[in-house]
């Protein structure tokens, strides 16, 4: 039987070494490739996990921001009081015109008006395009002046929409008798006399003032000259009057 040895076949030894080297090289390359593929797979898995985690965090952040905005809006809504319209916010086109004349129609300013005898007629025109029921109008006038023909507590109807009451203390109250859905207006006339006698001619102003809910609407002052009542009659007539009074 033939025997083979490495010493006899140098080519065989070289071939064996070359084959071994190639085999080991290929084996190592495969191992490296497998290792690289394994690491790449792990990296891919880790990358996918990281991407999913980042996406989850982003989703949570978006949800947090949206929820926070909703909560902020809800808080702002709950903390903001409801806007209520009040009288101060309502636009009211309101005005008043006040005039005064003597009984003959002349202007009263600087005109002689006898105390307790002569009369002054005051005309008052009021207009409001947004007056509501319950918003009373108050009229006041100067002391020592008296409204004739209108007793304390008496109520008069004005145009069917207002009631005017003499309060007896130098004031009148004008009240709307129905809810107004359009402009409201009234005209009111007073007859005034100066109720106190004077010793000599003197200026006694008559001031008419309108207020609504404590706010001034309009005011006007007239300046007649008040003359003594006693100048109307002679001394003999006064004495006769006194005597007649005593006899009664």
Give residue limits of the domains in the chain. 11-70, 94-233
Sheet bearing 225-227, strands edge to edge: 112-114, 225-227, 202-203
What are the b/e assignments for 137-169, b being 16+ CB within 10 Å? bbbbbbeebebeebeeeeeeebeeebebbbeee
Q: Which long-range contacts (CB under 8 A, 24 or more apart) does 231-234 make?
A: 231/114, 232/114, 232/117
Contacts of 109 (CB under 8 A, 6+ apart): 222, 223, 224
Class of the CATH domain delimited by 94-233: mainly beta
pLDDT of residue 246: 55
Question: What length does the chain have?
Answer: 248
Q: What is the pLDDT of residue 131?
A: 84
Question: pLDDT at position 178, please?
Answer: 78
Predicted confidence at residue 79, as pLDDT, reads 41
Question: According to the model, what pLDDT value does residue 132 have?
Answer: 82
Give the separation between CA 141 and CA 207, rounded to whole angstroms.
Answer: 5
What is the predicted pLDDT for the residue at 240? Answer: 61
Regions of the chain where pLDDT drops below 70: 1-92, 180-182, 231-248
Give the ranges where 168-234 is alpha helix by DSSP (H): none
Rounded Cα distance, 184 and 94, in Å: 10
pTM for this entry: 0.57
């Amino acid at each position: 039987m033939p025997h083979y040895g490495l010493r006899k076949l140098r080519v065989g030894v070289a071939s064996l070494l070359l084959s071994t080297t190639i085999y080991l090289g290929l084996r190592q390359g495969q191992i490296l490739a497998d290792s690289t593929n394994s690491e790449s797979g792990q990296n891919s898995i880790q990358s996918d996990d990281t991407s999913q985690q980042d996406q989850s965090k982003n989703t949570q952040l978006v949800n947090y921001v949206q929820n926070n905005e909703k909560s902020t809006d809800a808080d702002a809504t709950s903390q903001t009081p409801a806007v209520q319209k009040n009288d101060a916010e309502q636009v009211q086109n309101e005005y008043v015109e006040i005039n005064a004349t003597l009984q003959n129609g002349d202007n009263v300013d600087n005109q002689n008006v006898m105390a307790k005898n002569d009369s002054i007629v005051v005309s008052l025109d009021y207009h409001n395009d947004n007056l509501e029921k319950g918003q009373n109008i108050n009229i006041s006038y100067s002391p020592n002046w008296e409204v004739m023909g209108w007793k304390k507590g008496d109520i008069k109807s004005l145009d069917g929409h207002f009631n005017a009451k003499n309060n007896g203390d130098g004031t009148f109250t004008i009240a709307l008798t129905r809810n107004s859905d359009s402009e409201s207006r009234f005209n009111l006339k007073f007859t005034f006399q100066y109720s106190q006698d004077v010793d000599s001619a003197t200026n006694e102003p008559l001031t008419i003032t309108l207020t609504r809910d404590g706010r001034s609407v309009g005011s006007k002052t007239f300046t007649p000259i008040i003359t003594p009542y006693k100048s109307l009659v002679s001394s003999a007539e006064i004495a006769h009057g006194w005597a007649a009074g005593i006899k009664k």
